[in-house]
Amino acid sequence: MLPYSLLPTFNVTNTWWELQIFCEPNLEDSVFWRLESFGCRGIASEKKGDSYLVRSYLPQFQAQLLDLAALSLLLRQDALCVGLSSPIMHWQLIHEQDWASSWKEHWQPQEIGDRFLINPAWLPVPENSERLILRLDPGVAFGTGAHATTQLCLESLEMRLSKANEQFPNQESGNDHVVIADIGCGSGILSIGALLLGAKKVYAVDTDPLAVQSTIENIELNQINPECLVTAQGSVDVLKELVQEVDGIVCNILADIIIDLVPEMSTLAKPNTWGIFSGILVEQSKAVADTLENHGWVVATLWRRKEWCCLNVRRS
């Protein structure tokens, strides 16, 4: 979810943990959240009868057997808290090539909102589609479009940038002046989506070097001018070295991190800057909203999908 520059000292792994979790449909989102918080990558799910099979992957050096056992316990506790059957979790070690092919087999093109079609890079682009086609190979970075938070952010961008077109009807694109910060860019899906909607420029940062590399590769995949999408490894401190102020902020991370970053993010805002914040569980929304309002933001709308929500905000 966060953008970074690739460091030469980055640890490369050839062996991965493959995690398979069988769960009830109503637990799918919470399982995604737990896996993401645990540091898993390349998450995909498929329906298996009345249940879901969620697959995810983790470099071997990032977890020991005791860590995986603790994750399995947390998943069971999450289910018990909402009165659902405990998920069943299995794990095994696989090699890089097996990882690369395994989860991709279960990811298909997906329509999001009124305008987007997320198309896996290894599949042919559909002909005669009227949608904005966003080709994506997330690698090990977060952001395939399958998760509710990513969908909510793309739909919010669509709504926000469509409003700009209405405000500037005589321009070729009402968004051709809009500069956006994507904090925690992951695969770059939100940055590229904003550019496809007509934004002028996006500055994308992430603390994960794999995310930065994934964003760079997806820029090339979508034939985006690299001058329009500037990527760097780091967080808001690095972003502030690249740009002084922005028209919009997109941040799809986790609630606790958003709360910590709000003071710094707010220094990038102009009087009319808007923001899209997600990665937030519904029960966490008040804490995030209160922090935003304490730093000069107004929550305009709260969009919810299952147990996740997205806050659309503007400056007060």
Q: What is the pTM of this model?
A: 0.73
Q: Tell me which fold the domain 15-106 belongs to.
A: Alpha-Beta Plaits (3.30.70)
**What would the two tokens of residue 55 be?**
């697959």
The structure tokens listed for 45 are 């799910």
- Is 1.10.287.70 the CATH number for 110-315? no
Judge contact between 157 and 197, C-beta under 8 A.
yes
- Cα torsion through 301, 303, 308, 310, rounded to 10: -50
pLDDT digit string (tens) for the chain, length 316 residues: 332 222 222 344 578 888 999 999 888 888 988 998 888 876 777 888 889 898 888 888 888 888 899 999 999 999 998 899 999 999 988 876 665 566 566 677 889 999 999 998 888 888 888 999 999 886 655 667 778 889 999 999 999 998 655 444 444 445 678 999 999 998 899 999 999 999 999 999 999 888 898 899 999 999 999 999 999 999 999 999 999 999 999 999 889 999 999 999 999 999 999 999 998 988 899 999 999 999 999 999 999 987 889 999 999 8
Measured in degrees and rounded to the nearest 5, phi and psi for residue 74 equal -60, -40
What are the extents of the domains in the chain? 15-106, 110-315
The CA distances from residue 269 to 45, 50, 119, 295, in Å, are: 37, 46, 33, 11
From CA 61, how far away is CA 79, in angstroms rounded? 28
Tokens 């990038």 correspond to what residue? 268
Tokens, residue 150: 């990513």
pLDDT of residue 10: 33
